[in-house]
Amino acid sequence: GAVVSQHPSWVICKSGTSVKIECRSLDFQATTMFWYRQFPKQSLMLMATSNEGSKATYEQGVEKDKFLINHASLTLSTLTVTSAHPEDSSFYICSARDTGALGAEAFFGQGTRLTVV
């Protein structure tokens, strides 16, 4: 089946630094990818929709200048958490669906556990 690879799987960083997370669709093209955040014992919350070749669409309450999204190709989207703070510590997951395939399931990356100290 289709695979989405996310890297890194975990990262620990100091407050004030930036962290980049990559999401790749390995055997299909995805003009749109999605970035989610999940705090402990809570559901996945959509942060933003990453659009290939154009600006990302952010959900209400998500700071676009803090969570930079780049979707430069049909198989790669990146999320950069800038000037990270301890409250940004969370589980970040990306997902992608095969472009234009109505009814297709969403495939998820393995997730990135970010800890800001």
Residue 26, token pair as written in the block: 């390995």
Letter string b/e over residues 52-79, b meaning 16 or more CB atoms within 10 A of that residue's CB? beeebebeeebeeeebbbebeebbbbbb
Among 35, 75, 90, 109, binds other proteins (CB under 8 A): 109
Residue 36 binds other proteins (CB under 8 A): yes
Binders of other proteins: how many residues, by CB under 8 A? 24
Tokens standing for residue 85: 């703070």
Among the residue ranges 18-26, 64-72, 82-90, 103-111, the one whose residues contact other proteins (CB under 8 A)? 103-111
Q: Is 34 in the site for other proteins (CB under 8 A)?
A: yes
Choose the binding region for other proteins from 16-24, 30-38, 61-69, 77-85 (rule: CB under 8 A). Answer: 30-38
Rama region for 26: left / alpha / beta (φ>0; ψ in -120 to 50; rest): alpha
For residue 58, state whether it binds other proteins (rule: CB under 8 A): no
- Please report whether residue 95 would count as binding other proteins according to CB under 8 A: yes
